[in-house]
Chain A
Amino acid sequence: MKKKVLIVDDAMLMRLMLRDILEEHGFEVVGEADDADQAFELYKETNPDLVTMDITLTSSSGIDAISKILSYDSDARIIVISALEQRKVVMEALRLGAKDFIIKPFEEERVLSSARDVLCYS
């Protein structure tokens, strides 16, 4: 059975790129969100196996979304994919429970191997 992914990023291009990469490699994209609230709602609705999360969203922060989702479901598997690399942000995301932090611009292979790793170690 295909693993379900929720993509959270406010850039249409990014959502498209990630969707292409994931669908081409056997994942099923069940939702796309561009802000923290929508991400949380879609998470509850679609119950994905994996979430990819950007930090800089238009009027909210990916950190809030991570916090909300993990409070709701402590088994949620979230991979951060962001251009921000500042120590504080990375530490905060991991501390809250994100499983990995990928810096943009990313290599396709990095995203795929991270997704597989995160889904295997459950």
Chain B
Amino acid sequence: MTQPILPILNEEQIRRLDTAARLGADKVAESLSKWLRTKVVSNSAKTAIVHYSKLLELSPSSEDLVTAILIRVSGSISGYMVFIFDEMSTKRILTKILRKNIDSLSEWDNLRRSVMEETGNIIGASFANTLAMNLNCDIHPSSPVMACDFAGAFWDTLLTQYAIEGEYALSCQVTFNSPGDQISGTFSIIPEDLKEWKEL
């Protein structure tokens, strides 16, 4: 039985990232509040090195329909940001931005896709801006892409992207919600190379 490879970041580094992530989460909540014209708060931001099997536990219920928005990140660190909204939240966001009642996700035209992608763009940039400022680095988010499908299908895809150093991954998860409006979401950072994070 081989020894598990020790996590590549030390306590101090994780603490720094965690602080930056929390500030990023607050900024995201602020931007979303403006964008959606409703009060959004960030309820938790957690950065940790986890055993890859733990990532499976973090995944939402497999057969639920969710919207995932993906942004590639480059610069001082590389990887992905993924935002996930459940079915109800997606409908609420579409309704708020398009100013008409959206109660079904069976049709996705270019405009609706654009609403979710631009929402992702705003979240991603807010978070990246804060991280960049706090960690004194450059983070360039790319243009977002979205898809609406089974939660399990996304997690299955995303798990393969986690930079697994041995069996550990850097997990950075933020959850936020708008109490009055039933909008909630999570976002995760998927680093491509943990060594880059060590340099920050």
Contact = CB atoms under 8 A, between A and B. Distances in A.
A11 interface: yes
B138 A13 contact: no
Interface residues of B, number: 26
B20 to A, nearest CB: 14
A86 B118 contact: no
* Size band of the interface chain A makes with B: 10 to 19
The winner among A12, A57, A87 for most chain B CB atoms within 10 A is A12
Say whether chain A's binding surface is mostly helix, strand, loop, or mixed: loop
Given A11-B117, A14-B118, A56 B138 contact: no
27 contacts: A11-B114, A11-B117, A11-B118, A12-B110, A12-B114, A13-B114, A13-B115, A13-B117, A14-B114, A56-B121, A56-B125, A56-B141, A56-B142, A57-B143, A58-B143, A82-B125, A83-B121, A83-B122, A83-B124, A83-B125, A84-B129, A84-B141, A85-B129, A87-B133, A88-B138, A104-B125, A105-B31
Interface string A71-114: 00000000000111111100000000000000011000000000
A10 interface: yes
Nearest to B27: A85
A86 B139 contact: yes
B71 to A, nearest CB: 9
Interface of A: 10-14, 16, 56-58, 82-88, 104-105
B97 interface: yes
Contact of A56 (B34, B129, B133, B143): B143
B31 A86 contact: no
A56 B72 CA distance: 11
Interface in B16-41: 31, 34-35
Interface string B94-125: 00010000000000001101110110011011
A84 B128 contact: yes
Contacts of A85: 125, 129
B178 interface: no
A10 B143 contact: yes
B188 interface: no
B121 A86 contact: no
Contacts of B141: 56, 84
Contacts of B142: 56
A57 B35 CA distance: 20
A14 B113 CA distance: 12
Contacts of B140: 56
Given A85-B129, A86-B132, A105-B35, A16 B111 contact: yes
Nearest to A58: B143
